[in-house]
């Protein structure tokens, strides 16, 4: 729809250029979001280090508390590099025979004998073709633009740790920044003061007035605090969702497909029969969580 509107207001030559740029951005692997991700982290940590750490150092905050966000940043960068550079489980001719034996077909979400039209090979259970990476991915979860890579069987553990450290980073920056602002308020005794409103009446300091005063005094710090608090809530919610998927041995792709069309599948031979989806891959909480970090092999399945 966007391209249809674009065709009405943009010349043909510019349309071709714009369409090509959008195709490269949204249909192929691109470093644009990686650069944006790094730029956001640099902006937050630059403000945190330059102002918050400097003020907190003057107020004699514990050094370990101030360095905690930087330690989490180092761990997050490591997880980011591992997740983005690792092979998520691209299915090739050399590993296809082994990977097709790892998971059984459930007959609902994954049918035996289905051939990927692009790769021209039978799709193993729990796999999906990714147009970004131009290949089928073993135990496909989703394609993450922030790490510029698919999330599959062999880097799902790295992605989980990456997201966990990213959430902890945001929470740590928010916690230290909030502690600094609270410390400033307590030292100033502002909560016990008063101010004159527009009518000249004396009023006790309220939360709204306090926030406005802090924003005028430390605008960048307060804006950063609001951003990292929102980021912590969003990432925390996503972390909980990923943890739920890990504990139940599901992928994002399977969770979405199982809830589409009433969680059922109607074979052509039996149009009246509804097969309700049942997760056959769950092995218990501990084993499900272990599978995220140590993906099973065809040999392990034969032993069972």
pLDDT tens column, 138-155: 999 999 999 999 999 999
Over the stretch 105-144, which tens digit does the pLDDT of each residue have? 988 889 999 999 999 999 999 999 998 888 999 999 999 9
Q: d(Cα 98, Cα 110) in Å, to the nearest integer?
A: 17
Asked about 133 being catalytic, the answer comes back as no
Q: What is the number of helices (H) and of strands (E) in the chain?
A: 12, 8
Separation between Cα atoms, residue 122 and residue 112, nearest integer Å: 8
| Highest mean predicted confidence (pLDDT) among 94-108, 121-135, 155-169 | 155-169
With tokens 């891959």, the residue in question is 281
Angle between helices 156-188 and 285-293 (to 10 degrees): 100
Q: Which range, 153-157, 259-263, 279-283, is most confident? A: 153-157
Query: For 4-8, 125-129, 235-239, 249-253, which range has the lowest pLDDT when averaged over its residues?
Result: 4-8
> Which residue from 162, 160, 168, 147 is spatially nearest to 232, judged by alpha carbons?
168
Letter string b/e over residues 163-199, b meaning 16 or more CB atoms within 10 A of that residue's CB? bbbbbbbbbbbbbbbeebbeebeeeeebeeeeeeeee
Catalytic residue among 144, 150, 240, 263: 144
In sequence order, the 6+-apart residues with CB closer than 8 A to the CB of 29 are 132, 133, 148, 149
- How far is it, in rounded angstroms, from Cα 170 to Cα 76? 11
What does DSSP say about strands 142-144 and 149-151: parallel, antiparallel, or unpaired?
A: antiparallel
Residue 16: pLDDT over 70: no
Nearest CA-CA partner of 79 in 137, 39, 47, 37: 37
How far apart CA 206 and CA 195 sit, in angstroms, is 10
Place of tokens 């497909």: 257
| CA–CA separation, 36 and 300 (whole Å) | 41
Residue 261: pLDDT band with limits 50, 70, 90: low
> pTM of the entire structure?
0.81
* Residue 18 in this model has a pLDDT that exceeds 50: no
| Range with lowest mean pLDDT among 36-40, 249-253, 300-304 | 300-304
Per DSSP (E only), the strands in 174-253 are 194-196, 202-204
Q: Which residue has 């399945």 as its token pair?
A: 301
pLDDT of 205 strictly over 80? no
Output the average pLDDT for the chain. Answer: 84
> Residue range 200-229: average pLDDT?
84
Q: Does the pLDDT value for residue 207 go beyond 80?
A: no
CB 191 within 8 A of CB 209: no
Residue recorded with tokens 């792709």: 253
Identify the band that residue 188 occupies on the pLDDT scale cut at 50, 70 and 90.
confident
Confidence of residue 264 (pLDDT cuts 50, 70, 90): very low
Q: Where are the domains of the chain?
A: 30-87+156-259+277-302
């Amino acid at each position: 729809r966007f391209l249809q509107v674009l065709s009405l207001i943009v010349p043909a030559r510019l349309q071709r250029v714009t369409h090509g740029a959008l195709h490269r951005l949204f249909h192929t692997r691109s470093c644009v979001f990686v650069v944006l991700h790094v730029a956001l982290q640099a902006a937050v940590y630059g403000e945190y280090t330059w102002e918050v750490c400097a003020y907190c150092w003057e107020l004699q905050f514990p050094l370990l508390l101030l360095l905690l966000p930087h330690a989490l940043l180092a761990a997050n960068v490591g997880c980011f590099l591992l997740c983005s550079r690792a092979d998520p489980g691209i299915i090739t001719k050399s590993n296809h025979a082994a990977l097709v034996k790892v998971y059984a077909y459930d007959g609902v979400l994954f049918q035996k004998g289905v051939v990927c039209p692009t790769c021209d090979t039978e799709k193993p259970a729990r796999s999906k073709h990714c147009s970004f990476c131009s290949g089928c991915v073993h135990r496909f979860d989703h394609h993450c633009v922030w790490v510029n890579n698919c999330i599959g069987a062999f880097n799902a553990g790295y992605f989980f740790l990456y997201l966990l450290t990213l959430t902890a980073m945001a929470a740590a920056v928010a916690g230290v920044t909030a502690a600094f602002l609270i410390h400033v308020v307590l030292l100033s005794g502002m909560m016990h003061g008063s101010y004159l409103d527009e009518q000249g009446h004396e009023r006790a300091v309220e939360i709204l007035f306090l926030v406005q005063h802090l924003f005028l005094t430390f605008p960048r710090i307060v804006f950063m605090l609001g951003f990292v608090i929102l980021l912590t809530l969003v990432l925390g919610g996503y972390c909980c969702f990923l943890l739920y998927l890990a504990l139940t041995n599901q992928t994002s792709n399977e969770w979405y497909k199982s809830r589409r069309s009433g969680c059922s599948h109607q074979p052509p031979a039996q149009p009246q029969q509804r097969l309700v989806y049942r997760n056959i891959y769950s092995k218990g909480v501990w084993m499900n969580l272990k599978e995220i970090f140590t993906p099973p092999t065809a040999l392990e399945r034969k032993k069972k």
